[in-house]
């Protein structure tokens, strides 16, 4: 157990150094950094969270376990599902953008949200072509299409062909793996 704790401390130390070095590289003259609300990470311990970086993240699961809250980790990495009608966005009405709670990738606009009545947030299209990736899912004796974050590969939910026009798609997402930022 002591080795595991030492390893976690070592990984956190390396991540802090990485973050400090990348901040110096991105701000070599030490000018004040614009701290507007849209650019501040939702998870201060997660140096991989960015609402502007679209570079693919290929991190080992051990890193995700350290930087993500347990509730997000269980859905995003273990592919669990939150209970129907329990998530914070299943009946959302605000105008804004939904981001991946694991990495900050922009996923959906509120204009594509619809009341799907299935108990999870429903969207009929993604924000952009590469916002998400798809994977065949044969678990639980069903044939479904899993939706993964296009940047970090986090499990978001599933997509079905019974959604509204114009796409006919129903992206059935877990609220816990979404961050919502209202339009200003």
pLDDT at 170: 95
Measured at the alpha carbon of residue 48, what is the angle toward residues 44 and 53, in degrees to the nearest 5? 115
- Separation between Cα atoms, residue 122 and residue 102, nearest integer Å: 19
pLDDT at 24: 34
pLDDT at 39: 40
Reported as a single tens digit per residue, the pLDDT across 48-95 is: 999 999 899 999 999 999 999 999 999 999 999 999 999 999 888 889
Reduce the DSSP state of residue 11 to 3 states and report it: helix
In a domain, 18, yes or no: no
**Ranges under pLDDT 50 in the chain:** 4, 13, 15-42
Q: pTM of the predicted model, to two decimals? A: 0.76
Of 105, 96, 89, 112, the C-alpha closest to 173 is: 89
In a domain, 67, yes or no: yes
Peptide bond into 124 cis (omega under 30): no
Domain that holds residue 128: 34-184
In a domain, 111, yes or no: yes
In a domain, 6, yes or no: no
In a domain, 1, yes or no: no
In a domain, 158, yes or no: yes
Please report, for the domain that includes residue 178, its CATH number. Answer: 2.170.150.20
Question: What's the order of all strands across the beta sheet hosting 170-173?
Answer: 113-114, 122-123, 170-173, 155-160, 144-149, 132-137
In a domain, 22, yes or no: no
Looking up tokens 């859905």, which residue turns up? 75
Enumerate the β-bridge partners of residue 158: 146, 172
Catalytic residues: 172
* 155-160 vs 132-137, strand pairing mode: unpaired
- Separation between Cα atoms, residue 55 and residue 140, nearest integer Å: 33
pLDDT at 126: 97
pLDDT at 98: 97
pLDDT at 9: 52
In a domain, 68, yes or no: yes
Q: How many domains does the chain have?
A: 1
């Amino acid at each position: 157990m002591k080795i595991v704790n030492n390893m976690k401390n070592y990984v956190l130390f390396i991540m802090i150094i990485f973050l400090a070095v990348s901040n110096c590289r991105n701000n070599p003259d030490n000018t004040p950094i614009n701290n507007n609300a849209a650019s501040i990470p939702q998870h201060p311990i997660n140096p991989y969270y960015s609402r502007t970086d679209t570079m693919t993240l290929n991190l080992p699961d051990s890193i995700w376990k350290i930087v993500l809250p347990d509730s997000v980790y269980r859905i995003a990495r273990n592919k669990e599902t939150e209970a129907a009608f329990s998530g914070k966005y299943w009946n959302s009405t605000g105008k804004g953008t939904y981001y991946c709670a694991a990495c900050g990738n922009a996923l959906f606009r509120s204009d594509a949200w619809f009341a799907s009545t299935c108990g999870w947030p429903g969207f009929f299209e993604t924000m952009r072509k590469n916002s998400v990736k798809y994977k065949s899912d044969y678990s639980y004796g069903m044939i479904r299409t899993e939706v993964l974050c296009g940047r970090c590969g986090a499990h978001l939910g599933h997509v079905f062909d019974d959604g509204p026009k114009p796409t006919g798609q129903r992206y059935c997402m877990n609220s816990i793996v979404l961050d919502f930022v209202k339009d200003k």
